Structure formats: C-alpha cells, structure tokens
Amino acid sequence: MRRFTILMAFLLIACSLALHAQGTQIKGKVTSSEDGSTLPGATVMVKGTTNVTVTDADGNYTLNVSPEAAALAVSFVGMKTKEVPIAGQTQINVVLEPELKNIEEVVVTALGISRDKKALGYSVQEVKSDDITKTVNANVINALGGKIAGVQVTNSSGIAGGSSYVTIRGVNSITQNNQPLFVVDGVPIDNSSNYSGNPDDGTNNLTNGVDYSNRAIDLNADDIESVSVLKGGAATALYGLRAGNGVIVITTKKGSNTGGLKNANVTFSSSMSVDEVNQLPGLQMTYGQGEGGEWLGPDNANGNRRLSWGPRLDTMRYDGSSNYKFDVNGKLVSQNSSSATAKKIITYNNPDLFFKKGYTYNNSISISGGNDVSNIYASYSNLKTDGIIPNNKYAKNSFMLSAQTKVSKRLTVTGDANYINSNSTKDQQGSNVSGVMLGLMRTPPTFNDAAGYQFPDGTQRNFRGGIGYDNPFWTVNKNIYNDNINRLIGNLGLIYKISEWANINYKLGTDVYSDNRKMNFDINSRAYPSGQVSTDNHFNRDLNSDLMLNLDQKIMNDFEAKLILGQNMYQHYDEQWYIQGDQLTIPGYFQLNNAASILAKNIVGEKRTAALFGDLGLSFKNMLFYDGTYRREWSTTLPKGANNFGYYSNSLGFVFTELPGLKSNPVLTFGKIRASLSRVANDAPVYSTFTTYDAGFYQNGYISGISFPFNGTSGFQVGDGLGNNNLKPELLNSTEIGTELKFFENRVGIDFTYYKNHNTDLILSAPVSGATGYVSEVRNAAEMENKGVELVLNLVPVKIKSFEWDLTLNFTKNVNKVLQLAPGVDNITLGGFTGTDIRAVKGYSYATIFGQDFLRDKKGNIIIDDVPAYISGPDTTINTNYGYPVFDPNNKPIPLGSTLPDWTLGITNSFTVYDLSFSFLLDIKHGGKMWNGTVGVMNYFGTGIDTKDRDLNHVFSGTPGHIVLDNAGNSTYDADGNDIVATSGTKNMLPVKRDENWYTGNGTSFGGGPTSQEVEDASWVRLKEISVSYKLPNTLVEKTKFIKSFSVYFSGKNLWLSTKYSGVDPETSLYGASSSQGIDYFNMPGTKTYTFGIKAMF
Amino acid sequence: MLNINNMKKDIFKIAYLLLPVALLFQSCNKYIDTDINTDPNAPAKVPLNLLLPTAEVGTVQAEGSDFILPTLYWMQQLEGVASQAGNQEAYSYVPTDGDNLWKWEMYAGVMMDCHQMMGQAETEKAPYYKGIAQTIMAYDLMQMTDLFGDIPYTKAFKGSANYHPTYDSQESIYKTILPNLLDSAIIELSKPASDNSVTPGGDDLIYAGDNTKWIKLAYSLKARLYIHLSKVSPSDAFTNALASVAKAFTSNDDDAILAFGSTETNANPIYQMNEQRTGYIGGLGAKLVDMMNGGTPDSAADDDPRLKIYADTTGTNGSWVGYAAGAPAGAACQIGTYFSSISSPISVISYVEVKFIEAEALFQTGDLAGAANAFNEAVKKSLEKYGVSDTVWESTNANETNLTITLAKIMNAKYVALYLNSEVYNDWRRHDDVIVITPAAGNLTKNIVPRRFLYPNDEISNNKANVPIGITITNKVWWDK
C-alpha cells in the first residue's frame, strides 16, 4: 500500500509538473511527532489540487505553488493527514501525528514476512514497543499478559529472575512442550527452563530447588520494536515443527534513516522500581508453639515442637531466664507459674520481618541512525534487581547491534547480534526443608526467626532446636544458588533483488548460550545436613538457516499473486554437566574439593531437521485473499525410513466492504470475514526410538536413594522407558473462522475468532503397567481438543481535540478436553504430590487436579459422622470423629477441578490529554483451580489463620450419616468400589471444634485428610498495569536544540489484587514454566511494583 | 503487467541462484542422519557384571525401606509418626503407597534386571550369573506375593509385547514358579566353573562370586518359602522346609548381607530416612522394647543384650522406652547406630532365621528336643552376630529343652531376632495367635491389623483388566488363609 502511495505520488508529480510551470516555492521538513524522526516519502499536496510532491530521504520537500493555493495537505502512511495554511509562508515544517487506528495495518507473520493485516485469513495480534516498556519486566513475557486474546501468562513467583509460563490457545501436547516458539528477527530461540539437581530425579527436581528462569528472560524489552503473536495453525504452519503451540515473533529495533549518522537519534531511558510482596497467607498470633495446649520450646526434644498447637499466649508470661539461647526474654510459662514475670508474650510476624522491599534499576541507551544506504541500531541495557527476599538478586546486561547496508543496487546485507550476560542469586523454595516459605510459614508466632540463624558453635538456630526446617535467614545466607548466563543471539541476512518482482532472501541465525550454575547447602542445613555443593552447567546451541525465493507479480488487472519457495535447516545441540559433591568438611567452603563424595553426570541432546516449503498468496481486487502453505519436513528424531512428513494450511480472507455497494459506508468502515484450515506436525523427542540402559539408581519417593557407582562399583539397569521405533509425527489440526469489523471511522473495532484445534497422534510418555518391566513407553496415542473464542474490542468513546479515551478489551475463552490418552491408559500424572496430582485424564480438561474428597451423598452434601460410639460386645469406643466429615482414605482420587481458567479478560483504558497520558490494564481471570498445599500445611501446624478459631464451636455443613459396616466391622462397597453410606438427609447441627486433632487429622491432606479442602478457586481481578506519563511539549523541547523528546512516567504493576485465594498471589506455579501448573506448595509470593522513569531522545 | 522477455531472463537468474540449494539437498540425506538419534547418554547393551550389582543393591535397599515400612509399623517394632508414616501407623494404606515399590523398585527395577540377566546369561553361557539372577528374582517375587497376593510373573517383563500381563495366583507362584526358579538356580550354580564364559567376582557385592554361598542362599529361601505354607499344607510345609534347611546356611558368615557406602548417594536407606524424613520413623515401638527390657525401662541386667544394639536412648534420658502404637507421646528410643549409620549393613535372610525355621518345623513335626536345640542355637547366634554374647542372659533365654520349648517362644524370639527384617510380618500373619499385636490406637480399620498391601495405583490405572478388585488391607493373602 505504501509503495502504491509513493507510486501514485510520483504519477501525480509528473502531472503537476506539466500543469504548473510557475509560482512561489515552499520548502520544509516533515517529521514524526512520535520520535521526531524525519519522514522520507511523505506526500505534500496543495489542498484541492493535483499539485503534489514527496519528501526526500531527509524528509525535506520543495513545492512550487500557485498564488491562489491556500493550504498544504501532508500525508504519510500510518500518520494522520495534516492541513497547514500557507498564509504566505515559504518555509513550512510539518509534524505528523500517528494515525490512531490504521486499517492498512502491517503485521509480521511467519518467517518474518510483513503482510497487510487486511489480507490475512487468520488472526494475528501485535504488541508494540511502548506497551511492552510501560512497566518494567525483567521477563518480557510478563508484558504480554492481558494484552492479547488467547495468550495466558503465568509468572511463577515474585522472585527476581523467576520464570514465566506462556501458552497460546490452551495446551496442545500431553507430555511434550506446551509453550510457543519464540522467534527473534527470524531466528528461533530457546526458551527452556533447565532445572538443576541430580538428573536421575527428573522432574521431581521441580518441586524443590529454586525458581529457575525460562530463557526468554534474556531478551531486553527496550530493544523490542514489536511482538507479533501467531496463534493458530494457519499462522504458524510455515514454521513447521515446534510451532504447533503458536509463535511469538519478536522484531527488534532497527536503525532508521536519519539522513546520516551525525543526525542519529540517541535514546536514553532510566527507571527505578520498588517491589513489595503483594499477598501472603494469614497467620494466627493467638497461640504458641507446642501441642495439646502445652508450650514446647525449641529446646524441648521430647514433644512435637514443630506444631503451634500450644497455649493461648494471653495466659502465658516469660520466665525471664537470661540463659535461654532461643529467646532473650526467657521461656514461656503460665501466668500463674511461680517463675512468671510480668512480661507478656511478644508475637512475631515472621514474614513481615523477613520480606523486604525490592529495588530494580533499569538503564538503557541506544543509538539509531543511518542514511538511505546503511543504517545501524546499537544499544546497551542494564537491569539490576535486588529482590524481596534477602540475597535474591538478578542482573542483566544486554548489548545489541543491528545493521543493514545496501552493498549494491541488488544486494542488501543485514545483521543482528545480541549478547546478553545475566546472573542471579536465588533462594530455595517449595517442597524442600531448606525452602524459604516452608520454614517461614511454619514458624510459631512466639519464635523470632530474625533474632539470629546460627549459634556460635555453628549449629543452626531455628524453632525446632536445629532440626526440621531451615530458619529462612539461614537458608538465604548459607544455601546459595547462583547462575551466570552468557548468550549470543544473532543472524546474518542477505537479500538479493533479482527483479522488481523477485528476490532471494537468506538468513542464518544462531542462539548459543552457556548457563553455569552453582547450588550450595552448608553443613547443618536441613536439606543436606552434611552439606552439598553442586555445579550444573548447561550449554545450548541452535542454528537455523532459511533460504527463500519471493515472487510477487500482478498477473492481470485486479489479480495479484505472491509465491514463496523456501528451504530450512535447523540444528539443535544441548549438553549438561552436573557434578554434585556431598558431605562437606569445611563449613561455608563451597568447592567440590571440600566434598567427600562426588556424583557426576553428562547429558547430551542433539537433533537436526530440514524442510522445503512453499507459500502461495493470491488476491483479487484487494478484496478476496487466499493463502496456502505447504511444508515437508525431515527430522532425525523419527525412525529411519519414516522420518519425513508434510503439512499445510489454507486460509481465506474476504473484505466485504470492498464490494461496490458497501464501500465508503459511513457506519461500517471496514468488514472482513476469514476462515482457515491447517495441519501442523511435530516430531518426536530426541532419543525416544530405542530402549537403553541407565546407570543404576534406586529411590522410593521418600529418600534420595542410591546412585551408582556404589562404593566404587559401576552398575546399570534396564532403562525405565520403553523406546518405540514406530513413532510418527504428532498432528495438530486447526480450524479457525473470524471476522473483523470497524465502525464509525474506526471508533469501534471488533475482531472475533472462533477456533477448534484437534490434535491427534500426540506423542506421550505413556505409563505402562510396571509388570511389563518398564515404567513408560513413548507412544503416538493421545488426542486432545481445544475450542475457543477470542474477542478483541477497540473503542474510542471520546475523541475531541486534545482529549482521547481508548478502550481495548481482550476476551479469551478456551475449553480443553483430553479425548484419548493411550489404550488402557486413562490418566497421566503431570506433577504434584502424594494424594494431590495434576493429571491429564481422558474426558477431562488437561491439568485437572486429582485428589480425595470427603464422602458425599448423591446430592453432593458432605456426610457428617453421626455415630457417637462404636459398640462391640461389652466394649464401647467413643468415636472421636463424631460430628466431623467422614473420609475414607481407601476411596480413589477424583477430579477436583481444572487448573485452566474458564475465561480471561484484559481491559486496557488509555486517556490522552494534551501531552499527558494515563492508562491502566485490568486483568481478569475467571476460574481455574489451585492446590493450596501451603495453607493446608500451615493449618496442620497450627500457624494458619484458620486455626485462630480453634477454641470456637463450628458446625460442618453437610448431612449426618456414616459408612455401612459389615458384620466384621469392615466398610462395605458398591459395584464401583465406593463406600456404601447411610444418611439421614437432614442438615447437620452438631457443633464441634476445629482443633489440633482435626487439623492434624482429616482437616488437612498433610494430616491424612482429603485434598479437596485445599483446592481453591484461583480467579482474580487485578490492576495489572497502571501508568501515567507526561511528555514535554514539542515547543518546549525544540527550544533546547539538542533534546528531541523527553518524557517522565510513573507506572505500577499488580497494585491492586482481588481474589478469594487464601495463599500467595494465585498467579504462581511451583513447577515453574512447565505444564504442571496449579500447585502452590510453599511457593515464593508474588509482588507489586512501583516504577518511576524517564525517557529522552537526543 | 507481465513482460515475458524480462520474465524469462529473471527466471533464468532465479534458476542459477537456486542451483546451490539443489546441491545442498543432495547432501540432505547425510545431514538428516538418524544415527544422530542414538542416545549418547545411555548404552544399548551392558555386560552382566554391570547388571548384577544394581540388582543386589536395589533388592537390599527395598528390604531396608519399602518392604519394612509400613509393615514394621504394623508389627510395632517401629512407630510411624510424622506425615504419611503416621497415617500408615494408623492402618491407612492407599493404592499410591505401593507405586514406588511395585513399579520403580521391583517390576521395572530389580525384577526386570534379573529377568534380563537370566536371558543374557543363558545366551552368553554364564550359568552362575543365571543362577544368581534366578535366586534374587525368587527372593523379590516371594516378597511381592507375600505383600500383594496374586501378582504377574509368567506374562510379565515382556515390554510392548504384552502391555497388560495377567496375574499368577499366589498358589501357583508358591507351588510352581518359586520352587522351579530356585531349583533351576541351584542347578546352574552347581555347574563347574569351566562351564562359565564369565563368572561373577567383585561385582557380586553379597558373596563376591562364591557360588557355594549362593546355593546355600537358594536353599535358605526354599526353607522360607515352604515354612510360609504352614497354614496351607502344614505337613508338607514342615518336611519340605526341613529338607531345605539341611542344605541352607550353616553359620552367621553365610548371611545374605550387604553393607552400604559412606557417601550420601550410597547411604543406608534407614539412615537416609532418618536424615531426610526426620520424624517419620518416630522411634521404636513399645511392643518390641517391652519384650526386651525385662519389663522395666531402666537399663538393667535383665535386659536383652541386643537392646543396646537395636536401640539408642537419645532423647529418652537413658531409659529404654518405646512408643505406644498409634499414640506417640513423650519420647522413645531410636534405631541403634548398628542399623542406622550411613554405611550400616542390611541382611535379607540369615542363618539365625534358618535356625528358627528349623525350630518351628521340628516343633510342629513333634521333635521337641530338636526344636529346642535349634531355638537355642538361633538365639545364641543372634547375639553372637551383634557381638553381645552373654552366657548369663543366655542361660535363662537360650536354654530351652524338649519340656520347656513352645511355639510362642520360638515365634516371639524370632520376632526379636529378626529386628528390622520384613519376615517378621510374614511370621505374624502365620502366627497371630502367639505373636500378639494389640491394634494401634486410633486406627482406621476398626481394630483389624492390616494383612497385606493394596494393589498399587499403577496397576489400577494401567493394567485394569487384570488387577484383582475389591481387595482391602484387611483381606488375607492365599497362604494366610
């Protein structure tokens, strides 16, 4: 379109030159109000005439006008046309404002090909630079949440450098990756979150350790020009393998034509942010450490001092003993005790004493400039965070260089190189006795964790006298995890123009990084009391080569064809070196030479693929668009002789407002309907076609077990996973229909999409009966479906001079269903704990929580035990469960809800008044369950807020009843294996206490009760982003001569959160960026952030 | 508009430029080399001497963990306190509790390795390896059937050739499969060394390749297998057991024992449990401690000399106290360092056990004097094994005669002597009249001590067609009647 405009302009110039021989000459420069850059190719026209010129490379124009000319109309693609009265002036400089909603929007599609959005038969949504940098996000993925329909982002925790998980249109694979492919400047990059720990433990390592970053965190938000999200198969089919989960296409900033480097734009931005914990589980402050109402201090080894089921603290006093090493005030005694002093008990809110304000400093400088032959963009950014947890740090340094030059009339060379160094220090989390939250939230209110974490003899000071769990201050000071990443992402491109309608494009890209980690546990830490040090080095290398022939030809009137023929080669290599040293001798000295035993592992992964592809685009009258793609792929991970496969996409777009009767309609400005059908395929995981032997390793879920070599003897065992030499690619079939409508000169815009993805032959590591001799087999067996709607609504409710209100809604609803797993396999555990699993189960939504529930009657009422006592002959046993819900631990686990949301809605409001702009983003997630193991355990321990009411009567809602027993006293079961229950059908009225017996028993899953009590709704409404920015008026800026633009801004993230979830911020995941979302077990809390920053251009 | 002449030129140019691509694709077959997909991290085949140590260690580790927990909570030698251990102490046993043992440790673990070794040794003409693999397989198979009842064997270990192995009845396992395995093992192990293309040595962590000891072990296991049938077919059980005892272990030196390493990754499982799951095993059960402390918690002359080996008294102020079952209160003595150190050994079957089997069989077949002699030898050797022989104590506790010996004495002395051995649970199930277990307080089974494990969740999920249904933990296995 833009080219067409220029062409038209030239034609008009030719005409005008003929018509106008004489007149006044007007000169001037056309610039953009956005960044002050000059606009080459802008059209300058005398209003109401055909007298037209275009600006040159520096944005300058010269136009001869007749004396009667009154005004100039200046226009540029993507900018609002501006009219300027001539009024006798000979020098007229014009500043153009960007056009608000441009129908001729150009978006980046597969393989970095820019397309008119109008021509697409599928949905693509973009986020621009400004929307990414409005709030500071070390992990750029977080900037996408709420802004794009169909995209769900979960930030695993508020820890600096933590991971984020992103999915597009639900999940597609059972046990393979479910996250989209990330492509930067045409090069696929790695977004793994490698985890540490003995590799033999596999994904068990995810429930402990630290929140390992996902590698997209390395991208520097300030360098990003736009993020284009390709959602469905039709959009991604050209990418082929790995693109089944959608593609996030990132385009980095490029040099602009500033008419020479001396005029280059230098942009500087700087911000400081403050982070705070945004939500924590509640704590009771009424009762002390101990059990049965008795105080048991940290030094009391004879009782269950891990609990906080001790005495009411208002009945206790300190005894004033001065030699009590756990508390300067002495031990706790009853207020009636002879040794009681007058000093009342102090309670400590340990989380308040532990968490601190976090600070992030983000500084970035870039230079962008060039002429019409060459241009360059270079930047340096530094982001540095001190987290909300003591000693949690994250720092990132990013250097970016991007250049392109026309070597000859036909050949253009482009290149991008991005070097990133990032490093972090993180703290232990999750199901790990050295985990920060685990020790912190179990600490009784009478123990001050902050009063020291180590005694002079080197032993640990914690509330259990050195055993149990690490004092959180101990673990953050002694058990340090560090990582250091060095990464280079780059590409070299050649564009050879064969003719006006044909060019050849080649791009070679690479992504290479090393991730060097060290994880320490000091002697006397609880996870490894004898100390452990491990180094874990990951190396990753991806090479990608794309060769494309682009043909673009108008074949006859109204009919245009584009054809791309291409070839792709891709190589992946990763390697891990894990060395674990146990049993340290010297405390605090973390080197492998301090370890008495060493375990070393080296793991390699390698694959290659090659592909041929084609893309045919046809358009008719700029109204009807067809696009078809085909790709044939070869992969090394598939069995010999069956290692290639083809797939395709077909899409159609029909812009019905181009029809003669509908054109230039005052109400309906633009209307399009679109439809597509596609199939994308995915190859197998590496090394899954053969069965192998593994180094001997035995563990049983409770203990870390035995790893070979054993006392110097090597040992191997038959591998647990059965290889499969009949693997085929998995197929992701999608259908998409949609419409795009714009009304009232773009004041109202609607973009609606319905899609259905039906995935078959999904490869999964299917569990097999252990009796086969194996644990699992890689198979093409599963089938899954995602159906959903996406609705994007753009409104401009108010648009008057100098005031504008924009409203954008992004609504997403996705319904996922597992249709089939493998023959005889009904469910697959994705993650979780004993008694609480996240599973994929046939007939249910993926990632459904499975666990046990109390017994219920047919109406769903909980059965409340109505048997006061058991009588057996002469013996009468009081039933301690009388009045409490009935639980049968032998009953099988049942589905307790999907962790996937029902729907999400992002609402962005932005207001512009003169140079002040204000915007906020409300993020609404409805539905989706979370297992709140944290609060369950806290209630077991008596520290949770629910246990405050331990002395109050409570009536459980439900109906009185009991399990029917047979003559021998055994439970009786129906044909399905469920207990037979007798109920009265009335409403339970019996008051009981939710006391220590309850919470350490059936009242929590930790005590052996049902999981269902801890499954909570993780819906939320949050003020995800808010920002106010003020841009100095151009008139003021121009006076400085050297500043081109200057703005200051304040922004906030998560400043308000409304949720029923009783734990930390429900946007959390113990398993980090992996498919087993929905587990909260002593996860690190989330944060809210305040940022103040400036942006200046010189 | 199209300009045919220009277009021809351009097409020629395009073809010229695409030539390198065509060349590139000629080498594509080399580039897409499926050999790249050969796993460099794991071998496709390993020799027998690398499979044997894993099978041995895996078996012994199971004996030190999942075979004795929770069974010894139920037998009140130990008290489960924290978390899942506390639940199991109260007779809660859920299908997922058996998954690790069934799947990772046994079927897809040690038993599959033994199955592989049996076949590989046959092919490679290594009868000693085959015999050893059969012996270990027999031991693990017997352990599994004792805990679970009917289990797969004849159709098991076939990988993708049989996803859903059917179950063999415990009766057929006991009557056919186990005797055949052990008899075959004895034949293989009795072959001359020269028949072996390769023989075990240092890789045999239990007997260092001594085939005569493996033969004795096979007979000892046969003795155990027959005595398990005491309720099913008493007379055969005892005569067969005695015939096996005659060729079984002859001294403590023969015990099938394996010592763990001194590093965390080679550590004894009980040590690991105490270290990594502190408080799960709360301490010793009152039943065992009371049987051994002469009725008083004070350290005194009437105490069983083994008590100071079995238990330490940290946390109990020097006294011998055990936890009341299901109601842990106060403090109890902990497992002694002989059993709970990082490198502590674990014995799967011992000479002492063989002598107790002999005593029981002789007693039941009427040879009371012989029974008394075997009993006395068993108790004395048990003390000797721990280096605590005590003639004074033995004069009252290992001095039975044909007039004084009773079945209750034999079984209870065996209960004490087989401390931390899973056979205790089998003995109780055969003799719950003389080994008295008072149900744990607050139990969930209306005072019925569990008689078995439940089939694991793995089988319920993945072998649904074959796994027996309607089983509860209070149901008895076939030989328990």
Report pLDDT digits (tens) over B322-361. 988 887 777 789 999 999 999 999 999 999 999 999 999 9
Of the candidates B37, B57, B151, the beta carbon closest to that of A706 is on B57
Across A609-618, A874-883, B311-320, least confident range = B311-320
Q: In chain B, what residues touch A769 (CB-CB under 8 Å)?
A: 107, 152, 163-165, 458-459, 462-463
First and final C-alpha spacing in chain B = 95
Q: Does B446 touch chain A if contact means CB atoms closer than 8 Å?
A: yes
Lowest mean pLDDT among A819-828, B177-186, B291-300, B447-456: B291-300
Give the model's pLDDT for residue B30.
Answer: 75
Determine how β-strand A869-872 pairs with β-strand A981-983.
Answer: unpaired
Q: What are phi and psi of B286, to 5 degrees?
A: -65, -35
Task: Out of A140-154, A273-287, A390-404, pick the least confident.
Answer: A140-154
Of the candidates B28, B44, B92, the beta carbon closest to that of A889 is on B92
B14 vs A: CB within 8 A: yes
Interface mutation target, options B46, B54, B173, chain A, most CBs of A under 10 Å: B54
Q: Judge whether residue B34 has pLDDT over 80.
A: no
Judged by CB atoms closer than 8 Å, whether chains meet at A597 and B446 is answered as no
B43/chain A closest Cα distance in angstroms: 6
Q: Please give the helix or strand (H or E) that residue A384 lies within, else none.
A: strand A374-386
**Do A824 and B65 count as a contact with CB atoms less than 8 A apart?**
no
Evaluate if residue B256 carries a pLDDT over 70.
yes
Residues of A in contact with B275 (CB under 8 A): 529
**What residue in B sits closest to A968 (Cα-Cα)?**
B446
Residues of B with CB below 8 A from A603's CB? 41
pLDDT surpassing 80 at residue A710: yes
**Nearest-angstrom CA–CA distance, A457 and A111:** 63
Q: pLDDT tens across B111-138, in order?
A: 999 999 999 999 999 999 999 999 999 9
Question: Is B463's Cβ below 8 Å from some Cβ in A?
Answer: yes
Between A194-208, A349-363, A860-874, A948-962, the lowest mean confidence (pLDDT) is in A194-208
Is a pLDDT exceeding 90 seen at residue A745?
Answer: no
Please tell me if residue B38 touches chain A, with a CB cutoff of 8 Å: yes
Bridge partners (DSSP) of residue A266 are A367
3-class SS of residue A518: strand
**Lowest pLDDT segment from A294-298, A765-769, B265-269:** A765-769
User: How buried is A273 (Cβ within 10 angstroms: 0-12 exposed, 13-18 middle, 19+ buried)?
Assistant: buried
Distance CA(A670)–CA(A738), nearest Å, equals 14
Contact, A743 vs A669, CB < 8 A?
yes
Cβ-defined contact of B159 to A496 (cutoff 8 Å): no
Nearest C-alpha in A relative to B450: A970
Q: Specify whether the CB–CB gap between B66 and B72 falls below 8 A.
A: no
A248: three-class secondary structure by DSSP: strand
Contact B86 A1008 (CB under 8 A): yes
B266, B334, B476: best to mutate for the A interface, most A CBs within 10 A: B266
Q: Report pLDDT digits (tens) over A852-886.
A: 999 999 899 999 999 998 877 777 888 889 999 99
Interface contact A640-B41, CB threshold 8 A: no
Taking residues A361-389, what's their average pLDDT?
94
pLDDT digits (tens, 9 = 90+) for B85-94: 888 998 988 8
User: Residues 6 or more apart from A492 whose CB is under 8 A from it?
Assistant: A413, A414, A415, A507, A508, A509
Residue keyed to tokens 């008495």: A596
| Distance to chain A for B156, nearest Cα, Å | 5
Of A306, A826, A889, the CB nearest to B461: A826
Helix (H) or strand (E) holding B59: helix B48-63
pLDDT at A243: 85
Pinpoint the alpha helices (H) of B294-350.
307-310, 337-340
Query: Does B278 contact A468 at a Cβ distance shorter than 8 Å?
Result: yes
A577 pLDDT more than 80:
yes
Query: Hey, are the CB atoms on A693 and B46 less than 8 Å from each other?
Result: yes
Task: Determine, for residues B36 and A604 on separate chains, whether the beta-carbon distance falls below 8 Å.
Answer: no
Q: What is the largest CA-CA distance in chain B?
A: 121
* Least confident span in A133-142, B52-61, B266-275, B411-420: A133-142
Question: What's this model's pTM, rounded to 2 decimal places?
Answer: 0.83
Q: Does residue B318 belong to the interface with chain A, where contact is any CB pair within 8 Å?
A: no
Inspect the interface and report whether the beta carbons of A704 and B41 lie closer than 8 Å: no
Q: CA A923, CA A919: separation in Å to the nearest integer?
A: 13
The answer on pLDDT for A34 being more than 90 is no
Residues of B with Cβ-Cβ distance to A715 under 8 angstroms: 50-54, 57
Per-residue model confidence as pLDDT tens digits over A503-526: 999 999 999 999 999 999 999 999
Cβ contacts (< 8 Å) between B43 and chain A: which residues? 692-693, 716
pLDDT average, residue stretch A745-768: 92
Element (DSSP H or E) covering residue B381: helix B368-385
What is the Cα A832 distance to its own chain's centre? Answer: 20
Would you call A302 and B51 a contact, using CB atoms and an 8 Å cutoff? no
Q: How confident is the model at residue A16 (pLDDT cuts 50, 70, 90)?
A: very low
Write the single-letter amino acid at A166: V
Report CB contact under 8 Å: A582, B265. Answer: yes
SS3 content of chain A, % helix, strand, coil (to 5): 10, 50, 40
Residue A874's pLDDT is 77
Q: Nearest-5° angle of CA B143, CA B145, CA B151?
A: 135
Report, as an integer, the average pLDDT of B458-474. 90
Out of A602, A640, A771, closest to residue B463 by CB = A771
What is the reported pLDDT for B317?
A: 65
By C-alpha distance, the chain A residue nearest B105 is A698
pLDDT band with cut points at 50, 70 and 90 for residue A704: confident
pLDDT one-digit tens code per residue, A790-845: 999 999 999 888 899 999 999 999 999 999 998 878 788 888 887 788 999 999 99
Please tell me the predicted confidence (pLDDT) of residue A59: 84
- pLDDT surpasses 90 at B14: no
Q: Which amino acid is at A153?
A: V
Residues in chain B within 8 Å Cβ distance of A701: 99-100
Out of A529, A597, A971, closest to residue B263 by CB = A597
Instruction: Identify the top-confidence range among A71-85, B321-335, B452-466.
Output: B452-466
Inter-chain contact A692–B111, Cβ cutoff 8 Å?
no
Judge whether B33 is closer than 8 Å to chain A, CB to CB: yes
* Over residues B173-195, mean pLDDT: 97
Q: What was the pLDDT predicted at B4?
A: 57
Q: What is the pLDDT of residue B373?
A: 97
- pLDDT of the residue at A208: 85
Nearest CB among B57, B92, B155 relative to A698 is that of B57
Looking at residue A21, its pLDDT comes to 41
Substitution target in A530, A718, A825 with the highest count of B β-carbons within 10 Å is: A718
What's the pLDDT band for B48 if we cut at 50, 70, 90? very high
Give the list of residues 6+ apart from residue A512 with CB closer than 8 angstroms, or none: A487, A488, A540, A541, A542
| pLDDT at position B476 | 95
Task: Say whether residue B156 is in contact with chain A using an 8 A CB cutoff.
Answer: yes
CA-closest candidate to residue A291, choices A316, A310, A315, A306: A310
Tokens encoding A93: 């400089």
Residue B103 with chain A: CB contacts under 8 Å: 770, 775
Residue with tokens 């997630």: A925
- Kindly state the average pLDDT of the residues A192-197: 89
Question: Percent of chain A, pLDDT > 70?
Answer: 97
Q: Give the pLDDT of residue A20.
A: 41
Give the list of residues 6+ apart from residue B343 with CB closer than 8 angstroms, or none: B259, B260, B261, B262, B266, B267, B268
In DSSP terms, A926 is beta-bridged to A903
Specify the higher pLDDT residue, A104 or A169.
Answer: A169
Verify whether the Cβ–Cβ distance A597 to B265 is below 8 Å. Answer: yes
Q: What is the pLDDT of residues A287-305, one digit of tens each?
A: 999 999 999 999 887 677 8
Lowest-confidence segment of A417-431, A874-888, B60-74, B317-331 by average pLDDT: B317-331
* Mean per-residue pLDDT, A141-154: 89
Residues whose CB falls within 8 Å of the CB of residue A321, separated by 6 or more in sequence, listed in order? A330, A331, A339
Contact B94 A890 (CB under 8 A): yes
Substitution target in B141, B157, B461 with the highest count of A β-carbons within 10 Å is B461
Is residue A1022 very low, low, confident or very high in pLDDT (cuts 50, 70, 90)? very high
- pLDDT of A23 above 80: no
**Closest chain B residue to the Cα of A1008, Cα to Cα:** B87
* Least Cα separation, residue B45 to chain A (angstroms): 7
Q: How confident is the model at residue B17, as a pLDDT?
A: 61
Mean pLDDT of all residues belonging to chain A: 90
CB-CB contact of A426 with A432 (8 Å):
no
Structure tokens at A1088: 């809210």
d(Cα A105, Cα A228) in Å, to the nearest integer?
12
Pick the closest to residue B150 from B174, B170, B173 (CA basis). Answer: B170
Minimal Cβ distance to B278: which of A467, A640, A834 = A467
Does B65 sit within 8 Å of A636, measured CB to CB? no
Contact criterion met (CB < 8 Å) for A716 and B474:
no
Rounded mean pLDDT, A740-769: 93
**Rounded average pLDDT over A368-391:** 94
pLDDT tens sequence across A469-490? 999 999 999 999 999 999 999 9
H/E run at residue B4: helix B4-26
Asked if B90's CB is within 8 angstroms of A1008's CB, the reply is: yes
- Nearest CB among B31, B41, B52 relative to A604 is that of B41
What is the rounded distance in angstroms from the CA atom of residue B322 to the CA atom of residue B336? 13
Query: Tokens 């899409």 appear where?
Result: A651
- Residue B202: CB atoms within 10 A of its CB come to 11
User: Which of A179, A281, A194, A215 shows the shortest CA–CA distance to A1084?
Assistant: A281
